[in-house]
Structure 1
Amino acid sequence: MNFRIVCLVVLVVGATVVGTGPIATGTDDGVETGSLSAQLDEVDADDVRLDVALQSDGSAEWTVEFWVQLDDEESTAAFESLEAEIEEDPDAFLEEFATRMDGTVQAASDATDREMAADEFQVSTQRQSFGPEYGVVRYSFHWDGFADVEGDELRAGDAIEGLYLDDGTQLLVSWPDEYELTSAAPEPDDQRDRTVIWHGSETDFVTGEPRVVVSSGGVGIGTTAGVLVAIASIGLGTAWWYRSRSSGRADSSDESAEVPSSPPEEDERRDERPNPRDDLLSNEEQVLLLLEEYDGRMKQQTVVEELEWTDAKTSKVVSGLREEDKLESFRLGRENVLSLPDDE
């Protein structure tokens, strides 16, 4: 792996999500966009993940991740150089990405006759260890108007109809807590809690695919009672969080200390503590409350298992909390460990 990964990340993304019916085989500037796999060979990515998180207003939070295995000194050194470049000047990496995505979203808007816009572009890097160690280049942005809202239904997929996935690429589409899956085409290769997944090695999208339809069934959008309950629950969770943090807690032990693999006994927990597995809480509150349940320290994989989230979603939420200084992370052996910051 080398620095060309950055130059081609943007090219791959721009070529991947063109939403003008079946994916085009070329662009005005002559760049071939039909062969994603050929471009990925140049990027040297072992795995590419397109994570689309649908929102109740029809928008979507897009995350595009390029995973490169750090299996030798050369690949590790190259990724470290890339990390330093992105940290020093992230705007330099985002400019072309944003330009391409703006064009892509406009093309999708024209094809679907639906108003769309892209904003909130971000780029970051991270290391992940799930057995082998990987370097991850992560681009994210907000796609307004991605899904069509019809009553209590969200209909997604027309903006990326005919999307081509090569063997090392997977598409994940998730939806809000208050929705339930109505239909998905083609049949997902894998399905998790509020997420359907297609693998390029198993699925080829044709005209009219992919499609995901989810419905709130009258419980989510448009139901005042449901909204009020959600707001009340989140408010209680937030109030508890600030109260518990302001009251202080015991200092964290040394980073080499054993990380708990299970939460303390039930009678040791505070009775008023909200359940972090409550879907009415925000993603951030769930992680922070789960950390409190584990006495302020746990493995990142524990979040995946306890909350039944995807690795990509967990990584995204954890990264956001870390950037806001609401939690800290460090490596212990091959594991990523999360901890609550010490109160000064």
Structure 2
Amino acid sequence: MRRLLAVGLITVLLIGSLPALGATQSDAPTTPQTITTSQEFDDVEFHILVYDNGSAQWTFRYERTLANEQERTQFQEFAREFNNSQTDLYTDFQKNAVELTDTGGNATGRVMKAENFSKNAYIGGLNKNRGVVEMSFKWSSFAAQDSGAIVIGDVFKGGLYLGENQSLVVESEEGMAFESAKPVESRDMTHETLAESDTVSWNGPYEFNDQRPMVSFNSVQETTTVTGTTAPGAGGPPGSGGEEPNAQSPMMLFIAAVVLLIGLAAVFAWRQGGFGSLSSTQSTPRGGGGTTTPESSTGGAAKPAVSDEELLTDEARVKKLLRENGGRMKQVNIVEETGWSKSKVSMLLSEMEDEGEISKLRVGRENIISLDGHEPDAAGSPLDR
């Protein structure tokens, strides 16, 4: 059976009502003819614009070359009808989009919806020789939100297939930056680094693995600093509206110098043990040294801020769990033990399988996750525990 998203995309491609180009003037049709194969198009692009609320704008863009004036005239007639009336092509596109989001919702458990449909057909290209058809819709809850990151990929249950002359382009709205994009070996970027890139794309023919492509984004606002800036209307004389962000008044420079001197004096006093008698609540230095042992208000030693378990990476924690359970576990048990979401565990295990760190075996409705050398026998029970 064809995979989830492959079915949806190809279904949309196989429905069309573009004019049959290349006919002679004598047999040129007076109305657009139905085209039933995507081969009538030179290029097909699936464009995904991801928003920070998890929704995405999907745009299906079809292009083909118009070889002569007759073909341009025919396409103009088609575009006029397509843009100004409810054609079968657009109606079927809307129907397929709804089915696509319903299937994605069933695969992920999120409530999804297809809405805000739009369409446009026109002649473009540098030499006005390309017929372009665009249809788009908004896919709500398309991406998963995990620990502040926006992640797409879990809707591609079973993978995704791109055909010849087809491409998939992923873009985020302003204020978001790419964190990761897999598979790595086949992706194209607009800049040398992923974080600087505006889009990430893959070109067909190409067959993706389960839950691929997978792309995650972070908000660029998380790394923005406000050091050296002055709030409007503050820091300047009355009525000035504030200073420029990098400007510093003599008074501010003086205050900064005083703070620096106080800090240096404090460091010097600490090194000389001068703080030992400044506070009656501070413990007496032991052994005549100049430092004190941090203690809690109850007199006990302070506890570490984080546990050893929290210092482990997600991958290391999964492998530790597997080792503690004889080398293999059910995927659902990993979800229970870690307390992570199902989507996070699923995507993490897919990454680890790609890297060869674990193996995944489908048994009935469950996945059995194993370390190397602990895979279950095919003829025996997949999991004894």
Tell me how far 1:200 sits from its aligned partner: 0.5
Match of 2:41 among 41, 45, 55: 45
Q: How does 1:270-285 map to 2 (within 5 A)?
A: none
Match of 1:200 among 196, 204, 207: 204
1:54 paired to 2:50: yes
Counterpart contact for 1:185–1:210, Cα < 8 Å: yes
1:216 matched residue in structure 2 = 219
Tell me how far 1:134 sits from its aligned partner: 0.6
> % of aligned pairs identical?
25
1:82 matched residue in structure 2 = 78
Cα pair distance change 1:42/1:215, threshold 3 Å: closer
Q: Report the secondary structure of 1:219's partner residue.
A: helix
1:139 paired to 2:135: yes
Counterpart contact for 1:118–1:141, Cα < 8 Å: yes
Q: Report the secondary structure of 2:79's partner residue.
A: helix
Greater radius of gyration (CA): 2
1:121 paired to 2:117: yes
1:329 matched residue in structure 2 = none
Counterpart contact for 1:50–1:64, Cα < 8 Å: yes
2:162 matched residue in structure 1 = 165
Cα pair distance change 1:218/1:156, threshold 3 Å: same
Cα pair distance change 1:94/1:75, threshold 3 Å: same
Q: Report the secondary structure of 2:215's partner residue.
A: strand
2:171 matched residue in structure 1 = 174
2:310 matched residue in structure 1 = none
TM-score, normalised with respect to structure 2: 0.46
Cα pair distance change 1:131/1:76, threshold 3 Å: closer
1:189 matched residue in structure 2 = 187
Q: Distance in 2 between matches of 1:43 and 1:144?
A: 30
Q: Distance in 2 between matches of 1:35 and 1:77?
A: 23
Q: Distance in 2 between matches of 1:116 and 1:167?
A: 29
Cα pair distance change 1:44/1:74, threshold 3 Å: farther
Count matched residues. Answer: 198
Counterpart contact for 2:58–2:138, Cα < 8 Å: yes
Tell me how far 1:104 sits from its aligned partner: 1.0
Q: Report the secondary structure of 1:80's partner residue.
A: helix
Q: Distance in 2 between matches of 1:41 and 1:102?
A: 22
Q: How does 1:15-54 map to 2 (within 5 A)?
A: 18-19=4-5, 23-24=6-7, 41-54=37-50
Q: Distance in 2 between matches of 1:73 and 1:34?
A: 29
Q: How does 1:294-313 map to 2 (within 5 A)?
A: none
Q: Distance in 1 between matches of 2:135 and 2:43?
A: 14
Tell me how far 1:41 sits from its aligned partner: 4.5
1:100 matched residue in structure 2 = 96
Of the two structures, which has the highest relative contact order with CA contacts closer than 8 Å and spacing of 6 or more? 1
Q: Deviations over 1:55-84 (max 9, x none)?
A: 000000111110011112443233112112
> In the alignment, residue 213 of structure 1 is paired with which amino acid?
S
TM-score, normalised with respect to structure 1: 0.51
Gaps of 5+ in 2: 15-34, 191-196, 233-385
Counterpart contact for 1:18–1:105, Cα < 8 Å: no
RMSD of aligned alpha carbons: 3.3
> In the alignment, residue 64 of structure 1 is paired with which amino acid?
F
2:266 matched residue in structure 1 = none
Q: Distance in 2 between matches of 1:45 and 1:75?
A: 14
Counterpart contact for 1:69–1:132, Cα < 8 Å: no
Q: Distance in 2 between matches of 1:207 and 1:122?
A: 30
Q: Deviations over 1:100-122 (max 9, x none)?
A: 11111000100111111010111
Q: Report the secondary structure of 2:94's partner residue.
A: helix
